[in-house]
Amino acid sequence: MTVVAIAYDRLNPKARTAIDELLRENDLYEAWVRGVAADDQPKAAFMRAATWPDLIKNQEMGYQNDGNLPNGPEANRNIGYADKLMHRYWHFIDIPFSPDNMAVPKPDVPNVQTQIATFRTTLKDPKASKDVKSYDLVWLIHLVGDVHQPLHATTRFDQQLPQGDRGGNDVNLCIQPTVCNGRLHAFWDDVLGTSESYEPAMAKANSLSPVEKELGMILDEAVWVEESFQAAKAVAYAFPVGAGAGPYTLDDAYKTAARELAEQRVALAGVRLANVLNDIFE
């Protein structure tokens, strides 16, 4: 939620009004603002809406798990809240690399890059319905954060994991000397904390270093993907992470480098998201 906390404070008034109007189309809007002071409700809704694409992974929400890989024409559809698929494959793009030069497949489509582009286009389309735009908005504000997480942009292939490591999900970590049930991908998802309350997210947003203006104005999602891909190779898969599934124990130097990179990526994502939304709702 830190990404959207950063973004909201940079939205212009026109964008804030349009966004809040669209978020009201989501069935959870009342829950998002319950107990929040009236003046703070638009920001609270915006921040909590960013969690919706993860929330629907819960079977109790009534959405169908259609797998981690796209399969069939329904994977590409953009029909608004009538779509009851989880679309897990929209959260990432598996750009492949192989340290030992194995032959690797092309990334599956659709993916996080294609969907960000689709949602940006639809949100600017005057003919699109409010229902579809609301659906696309909650996905977009989530995916801009996802795509800046390095392990949402790659999968590593090697002789030990010839089918790929699924963005580090198949690389095991020892969280304690005798407890090795952690995953590299989860470490990177949670490296800045796991709270889903908006007060800690706002505090974290306020603590991050400012973003260089030129970097914040890079609004091409393909560039964001490439940045994350290169960061994954340089930092996420750095020592002590080795080949295959591990398990590996992360040292303090690795954890420090990971936190520093994650802070930079989150700050960039927040500024870029605001710039994208200000452009959409100009």
Number of domains in the chain: 1
pLDDT value at residue 132 = 99
pLDDT digits (tens, 9 = 90+) for 122-179: 999 999 999 999 999 999 999 999 999 999 999 999 999 999 999 999 999 998 888 8
- Which residue's structure tokens are 């991908």? 185
Distances (CA, A) of 115 to 48, 59, 74: 20, 23, 13
The C-alpha angle 248, 90, 29, rounded to 5 degrees, equals 110
Global confidence as pTM: 0.96
pLDDT value at residue 274 = 99
CB-CB contact of 166 with 184 (8 Å): no
pLDDT value at residue 42 = 97
| Low-confidence residues of the chain: pLDDT under 50 | none
pLDDT value at residue 120 = 99
pLDDT value at residue 143 = 99
Q: The domain spanning residue 64 has which CATH number?
A: 1.10.575.10
Q: Which domain holds residue 123?
A: 2-280
Helix H segments across the chain? Answer: 2-8, 13-23, 29-33, 41-49, 52-55, 112-123, 130-147, 184-190, 198-207, 213-216, 221-231, 252-280
